[in-house]
Amino acid sequence: MATDGGPPIDAEALEASRLARQAELESRTSRRERNRLGQYATPARLAREIVEFALSQCSPGRPISFLDPALGTGAFYAALLGCARSGRIASAVGFEIDAAYAATAKVLWKGTPLKVCHRDFTRERAPGAGERATVLLCNPPYVRHHHLGTSDKARLRRLSAERAHIRLSGLAGLYCHFMAIAHGWMEPDCIAGWLVPSEFMEVNYGCALKEYLLSRTTLLRIHRFDPNEVQFDDALVSSAVVCFLNRRPSPEHLVQCSYGGTLRHPAMSQAIRVADLAPTEKWTRLPMSRAAVAQEGYRLGDLFSIRRGLATGANDFFILDEAKASALELPRRFLRPVLPSARFIREDEIDADTNGVPRLSRRLFLIDCDLPADELRRVEPVLWSYLRRGLADVAARHLCRSRRVWYLQERRPAAPIVCTYIGRSDHEGRPFRFLLNHSQATATNAYLMMYPTALLARRLARSPEALRAAWRQLNAIGRDTLLASGRVYGGGMHKLEPRELASVPADALARAVGLPPKRALEPLEPARVAARKARRATSFKFRSTSR
Ligand SMILES: C[S@@+](CC[C@H](N)C(=O)[O-])C[C@H]1O[C@@H](n2cnc3c(N)ncnc32)[C@H](O)[C@@H]1O
């Protein structure tokens, strides 16, 4: 392409040169250094798809004033040069905090419209109306909140509130602040394309950002990549592309929500009315979220009180296998059976011997003693001589230090059902397993422990066999329903928090254990009717079907 009046620009040759310099820069910096500034380059193919999508959404005659607030070597600018019609780029600005990257970009883009500013974008004053961007594309630095200094964080939060009225919590990462701060850099109807971690879609700190996207912008597209296909080789975050116009939306506006595949060819896509999207919902459920429709019946939380298993503070020290515990002659009364990791449990049903110890190849015991040290030394010298080995190291660990007696364990009676709540989705198997536990073994925080609530306990008292029916139903819950209820990390790792598992619809389970329909059970009082209506209002309704 050629810029107005200038010599022709060979976009392809420039991109080849950029990629070579990018690789050279990366080879010179350690992974740790790149982490500090969130330097994860956008793959060229992805940058091109984002640019193509963005350009397809702007009016063709509008001149492009381009802005990349976190330029790097200029992946988006390179793609823009390759896609935009000759002469359409009226101006282009890129900010880059890192001297080496900024210097490289200056050399690379000399003779093109791009002005490279070696500065911290978050400290720049936004330009006046008429000088702002019409196309803003950015892969902002992925820097987690705990790597932001206290005063910097306060400054960023203040700025985000000033520029976009987004009240970000202290847990928000730098990328959220970038999105908020960039608001003041956009002309009306500016198209923005952000490549960001999808985390904001499902965690509390993301609600403020979602609120902004729904109320202050016309959200065009949310595409979430399949976390099993990590976009950046070296950053284990699952990524999303968020595209919007700087214009308030009409309630009937349709947002294209897509998932998997590529931005150009997503595996799934649905258009959802903006009025049907709520900032409090997990957007990572989109677009496949049938599980999110209004659910008036039972949820698992009505039938089970769900708690994470116990955190011992030092599994290697407090948990011993049977052979070691007997070789040390530790007193039996202070040893509680504890479940081993789920990979040692082949069947989903755990049988027990007459002492309540699981019949498993790996039999483990937790030292669970509530005697104070003085007494222990006197009455159980053998156990004391083992525990005192941990005085220098284990007792000093944060969790142990916070206990009344450093080796005292939390109360977690054996639960009749436990759930493995961290799992992968990139294989055919189930990411989460529900185990029926007939033993007296407690469990560590590698499990969620599911204790029947009073409602279910009453039912089980009358018909104990209903527990088995409940367990079968748990394992029959659709894999997508469970995945949609939890959260996902890069690399396809899924996790279900107790509250998330408790929110899973459970009408089928309730029926299987013989409970009457929930509405027949308890008439709705006015407050609950209102809550139901509100839930209905914030639930997702799907307009079009997936491709
Ligand atoms: C995720 S990389 C993206 C680079 C490039 N735009 C791309 O897409 O490949 C983010 C870039 O922002 C830069 N950066 C980090 N903090 C910044 C700041 N406060 N102001 C400007 N640039 C910043 C990093 O050095 C890094 O090059």
Query: What spacing in Å lies between the alpha carbon of 342 and ligand 1's midpoint?
Result: 41
Ligand 1 pocket, residue 120 CB under 6 Å: yes
pLDDT: is 105 or 428 the higher one?
105
Q: Which amino acid is at 394?
A: V
What pLDDT is stored for residue 286 in this prediction? Answer: 80
Positive or negative, the Cα torsion across 91, 61, 240, 248? positive
Helix (H) or strand (E) holding 461: helix 454-462
Encoded tokens for 7 = 């010599």
Confidence of residue 128 (pLDDT cuts 50, 70, 90): very high
Contact indicator for 535, 297 with CB cutoff of 8 Å: no
Contact indicator for 405, 332 with CB cutoff of 8 Å: no
304 forms bridges with which residues in the sheet?
Answer: 452
Which residue, 126, 125, 66, is CA-closest to 93?
A: 66
- DSSP for 482-507, please give it: HHHHSEEEGGGEEE--HHHHHTSB-H
What pLDDT is stored for residue 524 in this prediction? Answer: 40
How far is it, in rounded angstroms, from Cα 227 to Cα 225? 6
pLDDT digits (tens, 9 = 90+) for 396-447: 999 999 999 999 999 899 999 999 988 876 655 678 899 999 999 999 999 9
Q: Which of 34-38, 196-200, 516-520 has the lowest mean pLDDT?
A: 516-520
Which residue, 180, 165, 185, 214, is CA-closest to 95?
A: 185
Angle between the N-to-C axes of helices 454-462 and 466-476, in degrees from 0 to 180, rounded to the nearest 10: 130
pLDDT: is 439 or 523 the higher one?
439
Residue 7, SS3 per DSSP: coil
Query: Please, which residues have CB within 8 angstroms of residue 273's CB and are 6 or more apart in sequence?
Result: 251, 252, 253, 254, 255, 541, 543
Query: What spacing in Å lies between the alpha carbon of 58 and ligand 1's midpoint?
Result: 25
How far lies 68's CA from each of 72, 244, 245, in Å? Answer: 9, 15, 16
Angle between the N-to-C axes of helices 174-181 and 207-215, in degrees from 0 to 180, rounded to the nearest 10: 20
Average pLDDT, integer, range 93-105: 97
pLDDT: is 288 or 443 the higher one?
443
Domain 11-292 -> CATH class = alpha beta
Among 15, 18, 97, which is best to mutate for testing ligand 1, by the most ligand atoms less than 8 A from CB? 97
pLDDT digits (tens, 9 = 90+) for 345-386: 999 999 999 999 999 999 999 999 999 999 999 999 999 999
Contact indicator for 299, 515 with CB cutoff of 8 Å: no
What percentage of the chain carries pLDDT values higher than 90? Answer: 68
Contact indicator for 418, 437 with CB cutoff of 8 Å: yes
Instruction: Annotate 484-499 with b (16+ C-beta within 10 A) or e (fewer).
Output: bbbbbbbebbbebebe
Confidence of residue 55 (pLDDT cuts 50, 70, 90): very high
Among 96, 124, 136, which is best to mutate for testing ligand 1, by the most ligand atoms less than 8 A from CB? 96
Average pLDDT, integer, range 181-196: 97
Residue 241: pLDDT over 50: yes
Query: What spacing in Å lies between the alpha carbon of 97 and ligand 1's midpoint?
Result: 7
Residue 231: pLDDT over 70: no
HEC string for 71-140 = CCCCHHHHHHHHHCCCCCEEEEEEECCCHHHHHHHHHHCCCCCEEEECCCHHHCCCCCCCCCEEEEEECC
Contact indicator for 442, 356 with CB cutoff of 8 Å: no
Name the residue at shortest CA distance from atom 5 of ligand 1: 72
Confidence of residue 477 (pLDDT cuts 50, 70, 90): confident
Confidence of residue 332 (pLDDT cuts 50, 70, 90): very high
Name the residue at shortest CA distance from atom 9 of ligand 1: 41
How far is it, in rounded angstroms, from Cα 52 to Cα 68? 16
Ligand 1 pocket, residue 503 CB under 6 Å: no
How far is it, in rounded angstroms, from Cα 430 to Cα 409? 31
Query: Please, which residues have CB within 8 angstroms of residue 500's CB and are 6 or more apart in sequence?
Result: 485, 486, 487
Q: What is the mean pLDDT of the chain?
A: 88
How far is it, in rounded angstroms, from Cα 220 to Cα 196? 15
pLDDT digits (tens, 9 = 90+) for 146-184: 889 999 999 999 999 999 999 999 999 999 999 999 999
Ligand 1 pocket, residue 101 CB under 6 Å: yes
Query: What spacing in Å lies between the alpha carbon of 119 and ligand 1's midpoint?
Result: 11
Measured from the CA of 22, which atom of ligand 1 is nearest?
9
Contact indicator for 303, 452 with CB cutoff of 8 Å: yes
HEC string for 156-184 = HHHHHHHHHCCCCCCCCCHHHHHHHHHHH
Per-domain boundaries in the chain: 11-292, 300-368+409-516
Average pLDDT, integer, range 251-272: 84
Measured from the CA of 95, which atom of ligand 1 is nearest?
21
Name the residue at shortest CA distance from atom 17 of ligand 1: 97
Confidence of residue 523 (pLDDT cuts 50, 70, 90): very low
Query: What spacing in Å lies between the alpha carbon of 175 and ligand 1's midpoint?
Result: 10
Q: Which of 284-288, 289-293, 371-375 has the lowest mean pLDDT?
A: 289-293
Residue 236: pLDDT over 60: no
Contact indicator for 134, 123 with CB cutoff of 8 Å: no
SS3 content of the chain, % helix, strand, coil (to 5): 40, 20, 40
Encoded tokens for 68 = 């990349």
Average pLDDT, integer, range 13-19: 94
Average pLDDT, integer, range 104-121: 97
Residue 278: pLDDT over 80: yes
Q: Which long-range contacts (CB under 8 A, 24 or more apart) does 458-463 make?
A: 459/513, 459/514, 459/515, 460/513, 463/513, 463/514
